Structure 1
Amino acid sequence: MEQIQAPSALSQSQFSPTASALHVASVQHNIRVLGQVATLTACFAGLVAGIIGLTNWSGFALYLLTSLASGATVAALKCHGNVGKYSPQAHASAGPQGAAQVVAWKGWLGVMGIGQENLLGFLLFWIGGYALIHVYD
């Protein structure tokens, strides 16, 4: 009887079933650009909220609306509507068959950039713009 040999290691032309479909250098570049877009959007939205004199929940509503609008713009122009394909947050760990599972809503959160650092930038510009225009009237 012949012994069954273990399969040899994958050659360079084959991919591991658990390998990610995302290119690391491209992911790093995309995260950096999306972070810059989200930060600038939040700061400009905060400045607009302060200049037009929004207070309380209306200011936060402007922050959410601008984040949604910038996320939808990036998704439409750069992701062609398929955010899960291009966002690293949407790719979960490998499943039982080895294929990566894609969770699209996590990709949308990454594209919109709703996070603590952007919220704090929004608040900084909102308070500063409001104080410069409306406090000393």
Structure 2
Amino acid sequence: MAGLAFAFLHAPGEEAAAVATASAPPPAPDPRYGFATRIDRMAFRVISREWTQTSAGAIELWWNNSCPDGTTTYWVALRPAGAAARFNCNSWQYHKWASMPAGTYHLEFWKDHDGRSIRGSGTMQASVPVTVRSKPAPAQSPTAG
């Protein structure tokens, strides 16, 4: 049981993550190759929409999360096949996953589970055409009558 608790507190790849590099703001995304997106509020973990690429290619991410005092970094992993990268808060950051095989992917963002929320936006761009799936709409609560 202790092993499971440790695995939950330390997300996969967190300790061995590559470091994203400082960057200028991203170029406007070509919708055939990627998308722009945002995080309105992330307290611990967020999953992006999925996309499929039919051939191997690179996947690039530009991201800028605003973080409150006391939070300086967060992590982004390309799932299911890419390693994690550590991003710094409050500036544009860039990371590239090279030579990713054809398949369906999504990004996983997470940070320390410290009760503080972060928000931001960025752009994912692939070197090959992609088909982007929309994120499902949140479930509506029934209204009392």
TM-score by length of 2: 0.19
Is the strand fraction higher in 1 or 2? 2
TM-score by length of 1: 0.20
Is the helix fraction higher in 1 or 2? 1
Greater radius of gyration (CA): 1
